Each structure stands twice: as C-alpha cells, then as structure tokens.
Structure 1
Amino acid sequence: MTATGGPEVLQLQTLPKPTIRQPGEVLIQLKGAGINPVDTKLRTRGTFYPDRSPTILGCDGAGIVDAVGEEVKNFKKGDEVYFCFGGIGGPEGNYREYAVVDHRFIAKKPKKLSFVEASAAPLVLITAWEALHDRAQIQPEHRVLIHGGAGGVGHVAIQLAKQTGAQVCTTVSSEEKGEFARSLGADHVINYRETDFVEAIMEWTDSKGVDVAFDTVGGETFAKSCGAVAMYGDLVTILQPDANMNWSTARARNLRFSLELMLTPMHQGLISALEHQTDILHCCAELFDSERLRLHLQQTFPLAEAAAAHRLLEQGGMMGKLALEVG
C-alpha cells in the first residue's frame, strides 16, 4: 500500500527480493501470512511509520528458511518456521514472498500445522498468552470469562485457559459459535444477544464473579465486565477503554486492570520482550504437536486477493482466523 484507505489500496507489486544484512538475520521464503484486525486498522488509519513507503502489511508469517546469517546457529536452510514480526509500517511486512527476520524472533513451526495454519497463529497466541499468564497470572482454581470466544484471539484464549485447569465461560453471538466454543473446551457459554452476560456470570459463580475477565471486544462490553469480576479480580483488555467510562463499579470492587498490546515490543525495540514472545511460540508449538491446542482457519486467500480477505474480515461475524497463501 502507498496510501491509506479501503481494501482497494492493497495492490500487488513486484519489489526486490530482500537480503540478509546483519549476521543474526534469517531469510524466509514465506508460504503463508496471517491476517489480523490490526492490519485493517493500519490500512485505514495509517501505520506506525507513515514516512516509510511502500508499506507491506502482515505481522504473522510462516515459511521455509532460505538462508541464514553467519552468526545464526539455531536455524539452517530448509527449516520450517513461524513468527510474528513486521507489518506495522514500511516494507518489512509478510504479505509477500520473502522476509528477513532476526533469528531471535522466529520459532520452529508446529509439525501438526500446515504453513498457512501456522501463519495465522502467532499474533493471537501471543496476545492471549500475555493477557492470561503475564497480566492476569491465571491459576488452576480460577474462573475465567473470555469475551468473543469464537474469534481469533478468543478461540485460542479458551484453550490456553483450559490448559491451566481453569473453568472457562465465554460470550458468543450465535448458537453455531456457542457450539464451536464448547468444542474448544468452554465450560459455560453465554449468547450475549439473548442474555445479560453479567447476570449469567453471577449465576454461574454463585454471585461472586469471575477471577479473571479477558476483554477482546471493548467499548460497553469492557465497562459492563467490571460488574462481572470478583472483588480484587483481574480485567484485561486488548482495546483502549473509553475516555468517558464510569469507573465507580471497578473502584468499589478493587479490580486490577491490565492493557495488552503485543505489538509494543516490536514498535519499541524491546529485545527481551520479543524473545519472550518467541518463547511463547515455542511453548504453543508443543501444545499444537501434542494436540492440546488447535487453530481454526475459517478461510484462506491467495496473496493477490489480500483486499478480498480484508473485506471479509471487516464484515465481522467470523470464527477463528483468515490467512493468505503465499507461493
């Protein structure tokens, strides 16, 4: 993209093949690129680096190592990898055939996943893991509410929460999505279009509230969630709270709030945090390969049809993820 706007600003272009410039870098022949809501926001509003053009979107990628820098010891040509890096501005995104990434920020691809499935996984895995483990410090005895349990982040968050031994409740918008959430391990499902989720949570928890609520929706849902969290409980959100929000319920319940934006380490160049995110991908690869975690890919598109993928994502109502098939 060379300008912001609708999906039509995504244009197929031929650019020079990237090359390794630093001894710790890896050249990856991409086979898939994940599509995330942040991609559509950057396309519409502008990227983190508006002075760098053209922009290639796509934070997530998976592919085959094509070459390694002289200091890279943990990867070799032919290795299958996945990662979340790039895509927030400039030409380093992953809607492309080749990418160069620092070896510290890539992980071996789960063997149980295809390239395109693996490419759809990293951003949502890291987001859910950081929210539940790093922010809320989820425990086996916890009762957890996950909003949007059929969505990209939500459907992996349900599974990661269940892996800890927690009991999980989730909100969905239809019976089909409810069945999907149950298939992932959700203990209790609330159709928020038919039922007040705060009342349902209080009934589920004997009026105590959940220990942890994970908000992937924002707005009124975030504000209402304060009344569904137990005294001294945790509420984590991936969206920015409304400037006019009334915090009285949260204050009365002594809630602890956390904000989760997994792009911060990449944008700010926080190496240790990026390495931690790579460790998350290593852990999740083991979960995939032991069949304790799965990624639901609703639909794939060829690279040339990235604009069509954006249109579908912006329509809403999806289950799981979308991805581009590359090469």
Structure 2
Amino acid sequence: MRAVVVKKPGPPDVLELVNDWPAPALRDGEVLVRQTSTSVNPVDYKIREGAFPAKMPKVLGGDVSGVVADSKAKEFKKGDRVIALTFGYHWDYQEYGSYADFTASKKEWLAKVTDKFPLETGGGVPLVSLTAMQALQSGGAPKPGARVLIQGGSGGVGHFALQLAKVHFKAYVVATGGPKNQELMQELGADETVDYTKEDFAQKYKDQPFDVIVDPIGGEVENKSYTVLAPGGTYAHIYNEKTNPKNAEEAKAKWTEGRKYTLTLVQPNGAQLEIIAGYMEQGKVRLLVEKEYTLEQIRDAQVHAEKGHVRGKVVVKVNA
C-alpha cells in the first residue's frame, strides 16, 4: 500500500511516499480502515523535524476517516463509515500511522458515522475535536452558563473548542483571534470576540473572570490567562512546543480558591467522537478546512501547516 514514511528527522524532503509499505495485520479487537482522508497536525511536523524522540522509520498521523475494509471486532463490519484518532500521532507509537491507504484502529478508538458525515474531509476532525472536548472538561464539565475563554478561536483546536463549549456545554463563550477571524468566530457561536491586535483580553476581562480557559497557544498568552481565571476555575493548557512545566508549578503555588491547572495531551476516544460527529451530522458543529491536499502533496501540506495561523485544518485526501 501507499504510505508516507519518515526514516530520519529533517525538513519536508524527508517525507517519502512509498508504494510497497505493508498493510497492518489485524489483532483481535482491531479494525482495518481504508483511508478517505487524514490531516496535518503540529505534532506530525514536529516529529518529522526531530522535536520529539520518535522511533523510526515511522508512518505519521493519527487522524482516521474512511471505510472499514476488515474487522476483528464484532462491533464493526466491512463497509461501515468510521472516524478515529489512533496513537499514530504519538512519537512513541510506531505501528499504524494514518498517512497511508490503510490503517488499523482499536475498536474503542472508532466512531461510526452516517452518510451525512463528510469522510472526504473528516480526517480533519478527530485529534483537534477530541483535544477540545477533553480540555473543556479536564477540570470537570462546565456548567450551563459558565464563562469560557477560547484562545485562538479560529485555529484547529480553537474552532472546535468554541463550538463544543457553546453546543455541548451551553457556555457563554468569548474567543480571541486576529482581525480577519472576528466575524467567523461569531458565526461559530462566540458570544463575544477579541481582536488580539487591538485589545488586551487580560485588561478587558480583569473584572469579568472565566470559569474555563482553553489555551492551545501558551507563552505570554498563558501567563495573561492566569490573571483572568475565576475562583474554582480551570486553566486548560493544550500540550505544545511552548509548554513549560515551570509555569504550571509557579501558577499553582500562587493560586487560591480552588483554581486548577490542567495539561491536555489528547487521548483516543471513540465514544466522545460519536458525540462530536453527531453534532456535525445535525449541522450544529462544523469543520473549517483551510486547504485540501493529496497524499502525493504531503510535503506541501506540511509546509502549509507549519506556517501557522491556519484557519481550521489542512486536510489530506487519501482515497477520496
């Protein structure tokens, strides 16, 4: 089968599309999926660059969207439409990446979807939507009406966090973003938006703190976020290259009144994906796709994603 293989860390040129990579051999409880689409996540190009100590050679990617080709799990049969996040995204996992014609998934990682779900772009959904869901409830599920701040509300994780906070948790949502994304974030359901080029959210909301803050950005944004966290609130940090454990320890040492710091490194979860896919099939949540590439264009796809400030996701079509 075709697969994108990384044999050594380096620039995009190390991404090699081969035609003879062995298809996964299923074990009990696993499902073989013929990939329709996948996507590029920051962890993918960070692994390629050597930022994480990955075992190589490695087929990158954990986002799955396609049709069951074979199954050793009674819950799934050939022809089922499915999505999943597998541990293929993780640097320590070498078995089944999703930058390939076929990938394998454990049954508990899979979610069935109907024909209303767009498999051709659905590969953009699993990692970012699960990250958003898990971050939002990392300190306990927000209560209806809770004040939630989403940093980077038009990005991959951010645009799902914004929508899920509104649709699933019934929260009052404030989202930050650039000037070109203010209207978009409002369309996605934000009650208020902040243009970070014109306003300082920490000053604007110093007297209106938040019950939950989801931050996939870090750095200065992280430190400012601490200042607008309500008593009993959760600052939900998304693991990324700016993650600094020292920041967390210093913050927790100063905090009082039950404030919490959580660190989200996404975990596969088919049950949560079924909930998210259901909202998408009902038209209540949507995936933003900035650009689509083919598997043959994987180098260009990663270069595009690496430039940053992506609106939604960069999707890679495999067998569309």
Could you tell me the TM-score, scaled by structure 2's length?
0.90
| Aligned equivalent of 1:108, options 103, 107, 112 | 112
SS in 2 for 1:318: coil
The number of equivalent residue pairs is: 306
Greater helix percent: which structure?
1
Deviation at 1:30, TM superposition (A): 0.6
Task: Report deviation, 1:112.
Answer: 2.6
RMSD of aligned residue pairs (Cα, Å): 1.9
For 1:12 and 1:300, locate their aligned partners in 2 and report how far apart those are by CA, in whole Å.
18
Partner of 1:149: 153
Q: Counterpart amino acid of 1:323?
A: V
| TM-aligned CA deviation for residue 46 of structure 1 | 5.1
Structure 1 residue 241 and structure 2 residue 244: aligned?
yes
Is the CA contact (8 Å cut-off) linking 1:116 and 1:325 kept in structure 2?
yes
User: Which protein has the bigger strand share?
Assistant: 2
In structure 1, runs of 5+ residues without a counterpart are 264-273
Alignment match of 2:70 (pick from 51, 64, 67):
67
Aligned to 1:255: 259
Q: State how far apart, in whole Å, the 2-side matches of 1:297 and 1:152 are.
A: 9
More displaced 10-residue stretch of structure 1: 241-250 or 192-201: 241-250
Q: Percent identity?
A: 31
1:82 maps to 2:83: yes
Instruction: Give structure 2 stretches of 5+ with no counterpart.
Output: 1-5
Answer yes or no: is the 8 Å Cα contact 2:176–2:196 preserved in 1: yes
Which residue number corresponds to residue 3 of structure 2? none
Change (3 A) 1:25 1:42: same
Is the 1:84–1:122 Cα contact (8 Å) retained in structure 2? yes
Alpha-carbon distance in 1 for matches of 2:302, 2:147: 35
The residue type equivalent to 1:219 in the other structure is G
1:319 alignment partner in structure 2: 311
Match of residue 266 from structure 1: none
The one of 166, 169, 177 aligned to 1:172: 177
* Cα offset, 1:241, TM superposition: 3.0
Give the Cα separation in 1 of the matches to 2:89 and 2:227. 37
| d(CA) in 2 for partners of 1:257, 1:136 | 12
Return the match for 1:293 from 280, 285, 298: 285
Amino acid at match of 1:31: T
Distance 1:3 1:81 in 2: 31
Deviation of the 1:208 alpha carbon: 3.6
Alignment partner of 1:22 out of 15, 27, 36 = 27
Q: Secondary structure of 1:135's partner?
A: coil
CA contact (8 A) 2:60 2:97 kept: yes
Per-residue CA shift, 1:105-139, capped at 9, x if unaligned?
21113533321321110111111111112434211
Q: Which amino acid aligns with 1:259?
A: L
Kept in 1, the 8 Å contact 2:10–2:49? The answer is: yes
Take 1:213 and 1:196, find their aligned partners in 2: how far apart are those partners?
A: 15
Deviation at 1:158, TM superposition (A): 0.6
| Aligned amino acid, residue 69 of structure 2 | D
- Distance in 1 between residues matched to 2:289 and 2:139, nearest whole Å: 27
Counterpart amino acid of residue 66 in structure 2: G
TM-score under structure 1 normalisation?
A: 0.88
State the partner residue of 1:267: none
Give the counterpart letter for 1:59 in structure 2: G
Deviation at residue 220 of structure 1 after TM alignment: 1.1
**Does the residue aligned with 1:11 lie in a helix, a strand or coil?**
strand
